[in-house]
Amino acid sequence: MATTSSPLLRWVKSSYSTQNGGACIEWAPDGATVTGVVPVRDSKRSDGPVLMVSASAFAALVALARTADVS
């Protein structure tokens, strides 16, 4: 896990994020394209730690999140 985020990465907020600061994550698709590793961070702590996961692990996480019961 990286301890800081790169200012060179373009971060994309989760489509499930709310405008009022709800629980959300961001990921950097450009970093994933170049390295095959997906940087993920808490959108409320852009200067905080960055979790680095493989592209296949990220895809599995997204698939799991899509099936989760959010009620």
How far apart CA 17 and CA 28 sit, in angstroms, is 15
pTM above 0.85, yes or no: no
Range of the domain at 45: 12-67
How far apart CA 57 and CA 53 sit, in angstroms, is 6
Q: Does residue 4 fall inside a structural domain?
A: no
Higher pLDDT, 68 or 5: 68
Mean pLDDT of 6-23: 71
Q: Does residue 42 fall inside a structural domain?
A: yes
Q: Does residue 54 fall inside a structural domain?
A: yes
Q: Which long-range contacts (CB under 8 A, 24 or more apart) does 65-68 make?
A: 65/16
Q: Does residue 56 fall inside a structural domain?
A: yes
Q: What is the tens place of the pLDDT at every residue in 27-63?
A: 898 878 888 899 999 888 888 899 999 999 999 988 9
Domain count across the chain: 1
Q: Does residue 3 fall inside a structural domain?
A: no
